[in-house]
Amino acid sequence: MQDTLCYSVLLLLLGQGLLGQPTDPNVIAGDQELFWGSDQYDFAIVLPAAGLECFWHFAHHGEQFYLTYMVQWVTGVANARHLSVNVNSPAGLLVASTDDATGQINFQTEETGFYQMCLSNFHNRFGSMQVFINFGVYYKGAEDTQKQKVEEEKKKEEARKHLNDTLFTIEDSANKLQGNTFHIWRNYNFGRMRKAADYYLLLSNSKYVTWWSAAQSMAIITAGYLQLFFLKRLFRTSTTTETNKPRC
């Protein structure tokens, strides 16, 4: 009986010790969103007045981390389009920062872990803004490593007198095409952000011109009515009677 009691107490203590260790990344990051892997992400978010939004993205050591953003539209009284963006390392150190309506951040990761991206709308304290962001990681040295492997294989094949140069040429061209396609995709996303920002600016200018034209039309109609009213008062005459005769 005593051995069973001691064994139960030991299991209870071990269970509490295991439960006390947070193994879920969501417990560490709180309510911030986590992005795993080397995929690329692009989406738009709306930041409220003086709002702060943070995201986490996983990156390995030696990869190229990039972040591109653009403010598409701003509402409120003080239409400040500047956006403060900070990128922190897994250790909590500031890696890069920018403060503008449009910005790009590129650097090579020196640590393996989750990199934090924080977007702050503290410049615009009386209105919200929509921001389009595009971020991800890629390994820049993959092409060089692949070229070295291809050269080594070419030497081996030449030594063995196997004529497979066509296969290696196609593989090398495919790697170059993949890299160029990736950079074209990034430039396309940036152009799409610019087009959306121009569209929202055009809508804002159209509303401004419409309301201003309506106000001017009302002012012109009111001024014409007042002029006609005062002119009629100048030519107003009274009816002559026996008791009411005009005086000099």
Query: What does DSSP say about strands 33-35 and 52-59: parallel, antiparallel, or unpaired?
Result: parallel
* 244 has a pLDDT exceeding 80: no
Per-residue confidence band for 26, with pLDDT thresholds at 50, 70 and 90: very low
Are 52 and 121 a contacting pair, CB within 8 Å? Answer: yes
Instruction: Express as a percent the part of the chain with pLDDT over 90.
Output: 31
pLDDT at 46: 92
83, β-bridge pairs? 100
pLDDT at 126: 84
Per-residue confidence band for 29, with pLDDT thresholds at 50, 70 and 90: very low
pTM of the model: 0.52
Per-residue confidence band for 6, with pLDDT thresholds at 50, 70 and 90: very low
pLDDT at 116: 95
List the structure tokens of 29: 């990051």
Higher pLDDT, 25 or 102: 102
Name all domains of the chain by residue range, CATH numbers in brackets: 24-201 (2.60.120.380)
Q: How far is CA 127 from CA 46, 53, 75, 201, 211, in A?
A: 11, 15, 5, 16, 21
**Mean pLDDT score, 47-76:** 90
| pLDDT tens column, 146-191 | 666 677 777 777 766 655 667 777 877 888 888 888 888 888 888 8
Per-residue confidence band for 7, with pLDDT thresholds at 50, 70 and 90: very low
Longest dimension (CA), the chain: 136
User: In 127-164, where does DSSP find H-type helix?
Assistant: 142-159
Q: In whole numbers, what is the pLDDT of the chain averaged over residues?
A: 77
pLDDT at 30: 44
Q: How far is CA 38 from CA 9, 45, 68, 139, 230, in A?
A: 45, 21, 16, 9, 77
| pLDDT tens column, 66-98 | 999 999 888 877 677 889 999 999 999 999 999
Per-residue confidence band for 16, with pLDDT thresholds at 50, 70 and 90: very low
pLDDT at 202: 84
Query: What does DSSP say about strands 41-47 and 113-120: parallel, antiparallel, or unpaired?
Result: unpaired
Higher pLDDT, 239 or 9: 239
| pLDDT tens column, 202-235 | 888 888 889 999 999 999 999 988 888 888 777 7
pLDDT at 12: 41
pLDDT at 15: 41
List the structure tokens of 178: 């993949």
Higher pLDDT, 31 or 188: 188
